[in-house]
């Protein structure tokens, strides 16, 4: 039950560590290309539209960055507990309750000026996400319930919460889909540039930067890694293993809650049923492709955001269903995992 199993073999130079990634991506595209060909479509046309949509127009790039925010935050929310050997599969529930908390603040205090409302909204979303994950962490710590179960089951509870808020409490009947009335203008993230990009992108980048420094350069981060590498050894050395695991889940939940608050303040301006999209799945796959290495997470997340934004373009231009992208992503992960096995075998053969 350790997370070491997905870490890359040590002692390779940087280039040698990057090479398996490149090969894994190429192999995934090659295999998916055969499938696209078998379905009677043109794989090269499909790939061109996937890979260029984000860079052809400023709009595509802004859309990609907007997509990057929830993806990278969900991946961080998964990676932090993973470092301590815990699997947080509750990111979408934490996102939704974070969004709910942010929306509640945005509606109840809609008259506040931006300087007060926006920070309050962001902080509320973050705290609520952390508390939600805290429930799962408490169930794990106090009752020994496997954290995969305690986190994932709370997702389904959060669906009910969102549905209740969006269709009973602050329902917007004109929306035609369970959704709340808009939050106050002071709660919206300011926009920058043209086409406008919301400043949640900067916020997310800062949070990811802090997470990287914290994980790699602080005592807390060290304890996290020690528990993940060998819980028994960590305990012998005086680290409170249970507390570290609970803390990791709560921090992960807080980051996921933040992603919900940013979605409300930057993208939708309200709480919306289904706003969690498939960010949980993508966050997990990003965290696993990055092999739990927080430094790699923002880059992998960007690559996945490019694929996701390109997916609908591919469906339009080449006629390939956008779900093909999910297969490509799963294949990349499988090949990254296999490259470890291959590298280990080669290393053994050489020595």
Partner 1 sequence: MNEIQEFLTLVVTAMVPYILVAQGTMLGGRVGVFNVSQEGMMTLGASVGFLVSLGTGSNLVGLVAAAGAGGVFGLVLGYMTTRLRLDQFVVGLALFFAAVGLATLLYKVVIGVTLQPPLIATLTDVRIPLLADIPVLGPVLFAQDLMVYFAFALSGFLYWLLYRTNTGLRLRSVGENPKAADSLGVDVSRARLLAATAGSMLMALGGAYLPMVYTGTFTEGIASGRGWLAIALAFFGGWRPQFILAGAAFFAGMEVLALRVQVAGVGVPHQFVSMLPYVATLLVMMFAFRWARVPAFLGRNYDRESRTAS
- Which of 154, 264, 305, 318 touches partner 1 (CB under 8 A)? 154
Q: Which two tokens stand for residue 206?
A: 């800062």
Q: Which of the residues 124 through 153 are near partner 1 (CB under 8 A)? A: 139, 143-146, 148-150, 152-153
Tell me how far the alpha carbon of residue 271 is from its chain's centroid: 19
Q: Which is nearer to partner 1, 110 or 167 (CB)?
A: 167
Q: Which is nearer to partner 1, 184 or 287 (CB)?
A: 287
104 near partner 1, judged by CB under 8 A? no
- Which of 115, 168, 238, 351 touches partner 1 (CB under 8 A)? 168
- 137 within 8 A of 245, measured Cβ to Cβ: yes
Taking the chain, what is the end-to-end CA distance rounded to the nearest angstrom? 29
From the CB of 241, what's the least distance to partner 1, in Å? 18
Spatial separation of the C-alpha atoms in residues 98 and 52, rounded to whole Å:
33
Q: Which of the residues 62 through 91 are near partner 1 (CB under 8 A)? A: 87, 89
From the CB of 15, what's the least distance to partner 1, in Å? 24
Number of residues that bind partner 1 (CB under 8 A): 47
25 near partner 1, judged by CB under 8 A? no
- Which of 285, 286, 294, 300 touches partner 1 (CB under 8 A)? 285
Q: Look at the alpha carbons of 337, 212, 285, 50 in this order and tell me if their dihedral is positive or negative.
A: negative
Kindly report each contact of residues 226-229 with a partner whose C-beta sits within 8 Å and lies 24 or more positions away, as own/partner: 227/84, 227/85, 228/2, 228/3, 228/4, 228/82, 228/83, 228/84, 228/85, 229/2, 229/3, 229/4
DSSP 209-236: HHHHHHHHHSHHHHHHHHHHH-HHHHHH
- 207 within 8 A of 186, measured Cβ to Cβ: no
Q: Which of the residues 203 through 242 are near partner 1 (CB under 8 A)? A: none
Q: Which is nearer to partner 1, 1 or 15 (CB)?
A: 1
Q: Which of the residues 27 through 66 are near partner 1 (CB under 8 A)? A: 39
Q: Which of the residues 307 through 336 are near partner 1 (CB under 8 A)? A: 321, 323-324, 326-327, 329-331, 333-334
Q: How far is CA 21 from CA 27, 55, 184, 270, 339, in A?
A: 10, 22, 45, 39, 8
- Which of 275, 284, 286, 290 touches partner 1 (CB under 8 A)? 284
156 near partner 1, judged by CB under 8 A? yes
Spatial separation of the C-alpha atoms in residues 328 and 68, rounded to whole Å:
18
DSSP 267-308: IISS-BTTTTTTHHHHHHHHHHHTTT-TTTHHHHHHHHHHHH
Select the span of 14-22, 49-57, 237-245, 281-289 touching partner 1 (CB under 8 A). Answer: 281-289
Select the span of 108-116, 160-168, 214-222, 304-312 touching partner 1 (CB under 8 A). Answer: 160-168
Q: Which is nearer to partner 1, 142 or 216 (CB)?
A: 142
Residues near partner 1 (CB under 8 A) are 1-3, 5-6, 39, 87, 89, 139, 143-146, 148-150, 152-157, 159-161, 163-164, 167-168, 281, 284-285, 288, 321, 323-324, 326-327, 329-331, 333-334, 337-338, 340-341
């Amino acid at each position: 039950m350790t997370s070491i199993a997905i870490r890359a073999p040590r002692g390779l130079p940087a280039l040698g560590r990057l090479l398996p990634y490149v090969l894994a991506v190429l192999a995934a595209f090659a295999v998916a290309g055969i499938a696209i060909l078998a379905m009677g479509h043109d794989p090269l046309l499909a790939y061109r539209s996937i890979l260029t949509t984000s860079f052809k127009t400023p709009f595509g790039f802004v859309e990609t960055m907007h997509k990057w925010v929830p993806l990278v935050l969900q991946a961080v929310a998964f990676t932090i507990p993973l470092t301590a050997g815990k699997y947080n599969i509750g990111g979408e529930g934490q996102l939704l309750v974070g969004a709910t908390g942010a929306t509640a603040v945005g509606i109840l205090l809609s008259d506040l000026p931006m300087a007060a409302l926006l920070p309050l909204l962001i902080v509320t979303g973050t705290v609520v996400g952390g508390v939600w994950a805290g429930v799962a962490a408490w169930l794990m710590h106090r009752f020994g319930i496997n954290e995969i179960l305690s986190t994932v089951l709370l997702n389904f509870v959060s669906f009910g919460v969102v549905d209740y808020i969006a269709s009973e409490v602050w329902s917007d009947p004109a929306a035609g889909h369970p959704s709340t009335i808009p939050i106050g203008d002071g709660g919206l993230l300011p926009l920058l540039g043209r086409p406008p990009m919301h400043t949640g992108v900067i916020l997310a980048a800062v949070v990811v930067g802090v997470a990287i420094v914290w994980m790699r350069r602080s005592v807390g981060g060290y304890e996290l890694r020690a528990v993940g590498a060998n819980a028994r050894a960590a305990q012998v050395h005086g680290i409170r293993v249970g507390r570290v695991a609970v803390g990791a889940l709560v921090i992960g939940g807080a980051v996921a809650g933040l992603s919900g608050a940013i979605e409300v303040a930057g993208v939708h301006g309200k709480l919306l049923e289904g706003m969690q999209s498939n960010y949980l799945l993508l966050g997990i796959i990003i965290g696993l492709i990055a092999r739990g290495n927080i430094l790699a997470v923002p880059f992998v997340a960007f690559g996945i955001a490019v694929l996701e934004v390109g997916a609908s373009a591919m469906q339009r231009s080449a006629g390939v269903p956008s779900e093909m992208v999910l297969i490509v992503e799963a294949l990349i992960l499988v090949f990254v995992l296999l490259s470890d096995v291959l590298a280990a075998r080669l290393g053994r053969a050489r020595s």
